[in-house]
Amino acid sequence: MALAFAFVLSGVIGLERELRQKAAGLRTYIVVGVGAALFVMVSKYGFLDMTRYGSTIHINPATMAAQIVSGVGFIGAGVIFVQRSSVRGLTTAASIWLVAAVGAAAGAELPILASVATAGYLLVTFALRPLVHRLPSLRTTRYTYRVTYLQRPGMLRELVEACLDRDFLLAELATLSAGRPAGGPLFFEQLDEPTGEISLAVEGSGDPHHLELHIAALSGVLACSRTDHSDE
């Protein structure tokens, strides 16, 4: 009965992640949840014969549960990866950790605790997520600007200050080219001053369109384009 209960609750959480097409889906969550429940049940009932008939051996069922917490950490680490300066998979790793706890609670015959944890997960996923997206001041989004400019003293400093003035923080700055861009537009090739091109990644809650217009209006900026990055 406990294994079936762990199967159902793990499947509920896994189904939500499957519908969102995340790295770990329905099968992974069910296997983790049922496995955690099985370990707890073995820890509780698998060694009862060793404690009978006046045996002096003492069994601590909490030892197996502690090892579940450590073991699930390796699974969670496998779905976390870093792409440039952004981290992906943290929510998936945390939900795998939670489903192991739900399975352990089911295996320990604590159905109310397991059900409340599952309901709390669904509440966070379906209720808080839309609320956060309705509060722009709490949402931090990453944007990348490709800027072509005239190389002159203080130009890069002005670009960074432009981001700070618009409620953004500089996350990454990479030089794409220096000098006159080969094969670039004829307008750039006819300029007497050398030009440069950078990739400017920023994070913040400001208006990305206003920042783009602000950068484009700076003296010495020849072109500016923006790329958005959606979060997990």
89 with 183, same domain: the answer is: no
For the segment 185-211, what is each residue's pLDDT rounded down to a tens digit?
444 444 567 888 888 888 877 788 888
Are residue 190 and residue 219 in the same domain, yes or no?
yes
User: Does 87 or 206 have the greater pLDDT score?
Assistant: 206
Q: What percent of the chain has pLDDT over 90?
A: 18
Question: Of 133, 162, 180, which residue constitutes the final position of a domain?
Answer: 133
Show Cβ contacts of residue 98 under 8 Å, excluding neighbours closer than 6 positions. Answer: 13, 117, 121
Answer yes or no: do 30 and 89 share one domain.
yes
Average pLDDT over residues 19-38: 84
Residues 124 and 14 in one domain: yes
In angstroms, the CA 138 to CA 115 distance is 30
pLDDT for 188 equals: 47
Task: Please report which confidence band the pLDDT of residue 36 belongs to, taking 50, 70 and 90 as the band edges.
Answer: very high
Same domain assignment for residues 101 and 122: yes
pLDDT of 84 higher than 50: yes
pLDDT at 45: 80
Q: Are residues 156 and 206 in the same domain?
A: yes
Verify that 85 and 173 share a domain, yes or no: no
Largest CA distance in the chain: 97
Q: How confident is the model at residue 34 (pLDDT cuts 50, 70, 90)?
A: very high
Mean pLDDT value across residues 155-160: 85
2-19 vs 26-45: helix crossing angle, rounded to 10? 160
Look up the domain containing 41 and give its range: 2-133
21 has pLDDT over 50? yes
pLDDT of 6 above 50: yes
> 113 pLDDT band (50/70/90 cuts)?
very high
90 and 35 housed in the same domain: yes
**Is residue 114 located within the same domain as residue 22?**
yes
Q: Closest by alpha carbon to 145, among 165, 167, 171? A: 171
Identify whether residues 89 and 129 lie together within a single domain. yes
What pLDDT does residue 232 have? 44
Mean pLDDT within 112-131: 87
In the predicted structure, residue 182 carries a pLDDT above the cut 50: no
Question: What's the pLDDT tens digit per position in 45-80?
Answer: 877 666 665 566 666 767 777 788 778 877 777 666
Among 133, 153, 171, the domain-final residue is: 133
**Phi, psi (deg, nearest 5) at residue 166:** -110, 30
Overall domain count for the chain = 2
Q: Is the pLDDT of residue 24 over 90?
A: no
Examine the domain organization and report whether 8 and 114 are in the same domain: yes
Of 108, 133, 158, the position where a domain reaches its end is 133
Residue 155 confidence (pLDDT): 85
Q: How far apart are CA 42 and CA 107, in angstroms?
A: 9
Which pLDDT value is given to residue 187? 46
User: Hey, what long-range contacts does 81-87 have (CB within 8 A, 24 or more apart)?
Assistant: 84/172, 84/201, 85/171, 85/172, 85/201, 86/142, 86/229
Over residues 136-152, the pLDDT tens digits come to 555 567 888 999 988 88
For the cut 90, the answer to whether the pLDDT of residue 133 exceeds it is no
- Is 94 found in the same domain as 9? yes
